[in-house]
């Protein structure tokens, strides 16, 4: 049981290049998320998918697109990378804790992206 | 003003000390409160959660919510070097709403 996996772990891009960050979970969770984490800013939600076939914008969606390929996989695409997109990107999936109304979010190890 | 604020630290304490980590928030509609722990170069993991006001204890950890003051705390008793991490508070208005994370407080427990 690998949990949430992300590839690649590190990436350096030049301004204008495109790339896709891959995420997969093997916990049979319906909901999946993409966050970015910047110093002093905390985790900010880029996009999320409440279930297979649906995606919705989060707090900072500009410059990104997502695909919920199936229940396991949720990818994040940067079409034309900009230096402002230099960040650590985390994918997460979640399940509800029965009777609490609280989701437990399980995070992947992150992708460290630098855009020059 | 950010919705959720935390002192970024770094906070450095000796082993065995009691640690107090705090968050303030501006939106009184938040009802669900969580603490995540993030080790260096790892993803966050859920540590504790509470609903509405009150205290919740789990081993050496106690989470406290004061909704009247819009203030939540995480206390760590008998702190250990393995507690060295960044602690993120998180909250949401309803069980279906998005989670808002604080920026995190970096904690170092010195042996």
**Confidence class of residue B17 from pLDDT cuts 50, 70 and 90?**
very high
Residue A79: Cβ within 10 Å count? 12
Of A40, A48, A59, the CB nearest to B103: A40
**pLDDT tops 70 at residue B102:** yes
Coil vs helix vs strand at A61: coil
Q: What is the pLDDT of residue B7?
A: 85
Instruction: Indicate the burial class of A3 (C-beta count within 10 angstroms; 0-12, 13-18, 19 or more).
Output: middle
Cβ-Cβ contacts under 8 Å for B4 (sequence gap 6 or more):
A42, B23, B24, B25, B26, B89, B90, B91, B100, B101, B102, B103
Number of Cβ atoms within 10 Å of the Cβ of B110: 11
Please answer yes or no on whether B42 and A43 come within 8 Å at the CB atom: no
How far does A13 lie from chain B, in Å, by closest CA?
Answer: 20
Distance from C-alpha of B31 to C-alpha of B53, rounded to nearest angstrom:
8
Question: Which residues in B have their CB inside 8 Å of a CB on A?
Answer: 4, 8, 32, 34, 41-46, 49, 51, 88, 94-95, 98-99, 101-104
Whole-number pLDDT of residue A2? 80
Which among B14, B17, B4, B13 is positioned nearest to B71, based on CA atoms?
B4
State the nearest Cα–Cα gap between B65 and chain A, in angstroms: 16
- d(C-alpha B33, C-alpha A67), whole Å: 30
pLDDT confidence tier of residue B14, bands split at 50, 70 and 90: very high
Set of chain A residues whose Cβ sits within 8 Å of the Cβ of B41: 109-110
Nearest CA in chain A to B102: A42
- Which parts of chain A have pLDDT scores under 50? none
pLDDT tens digits along B20-31: 999 999 999 999
> Model confidence over B39-59: pLDDT tens digits?
999 999 999 988 888 889 999
The pLDDT value given to residue B104: 93
DSSP string, B15-49: TT--EEEEEEES-TT--EEEEEEE-TTS--EEEEE
Give residue-wise pLDDT tens across range B56-92: 999 999 999 999 999 999 999 999 999 999 999 999 9
Contact pairs from chain A to chain B, CB under 8 Å: 52
Which residues of chain B lie closer than 8 angstroms to A40, CB-CB?
8, 103
Of chain B, the percentage scoring pLDDT greater than 70 comes to 99
C-alpha to C-alpha distance for A95 and A92, rounded to whole angstroms: 10
Q: What angle do CA A33, B89, A46 make, to 5 degrees?
A: 25
Mean pLDDT of chain B: 93
């Amino acid at each position: 049981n690998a949990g949430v996996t992300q590839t690649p772990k590190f990436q350096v891009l030049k301004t204008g290049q495109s790339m896709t960050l891959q995420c997969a979970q093997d916990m049979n969770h319906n909901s999946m998320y993409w966050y970015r984490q910047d110093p002093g800013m905390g985790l900010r939600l880029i996009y999320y998918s409440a279930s297979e076939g649906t995606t919705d914008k989060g707090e900072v969606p500009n410059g990104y697109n997502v695909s919920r390929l199936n229940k396991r996989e949720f990818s994040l695409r940067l079409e034309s990378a900009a230096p402002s997109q230099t960040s650590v990107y985390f994918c997460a999936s979640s399940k509800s804790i029965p009777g609490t109304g609280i989701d437990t979010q399980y995070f992947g190890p992150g992708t460290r992206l630098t855009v020059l | 003003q950010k919705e959720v604020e935390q002192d970024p630290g770094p906070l450095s304490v000796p082993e065995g000390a009691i640690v107090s980590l705090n968050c303030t928030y501006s939106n009184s509609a938040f009802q669900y409160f969580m603490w995540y722990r993030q080790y260096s170069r790892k993803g966050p993991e859920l540590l504790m959660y509470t609903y509405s006001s009150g205290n919740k204890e789990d081993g050496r950890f106690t989470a406290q919510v004061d909704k009247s003051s819009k203030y939540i705390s995480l206390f760590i008793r008998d702190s250990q070097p393995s507690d060295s991490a960044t602690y993120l508070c998180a909250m949401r208005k309803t069980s279906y709403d998005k989670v808002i994370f604080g920026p995190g407080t970096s904690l170092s427990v010195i042996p």
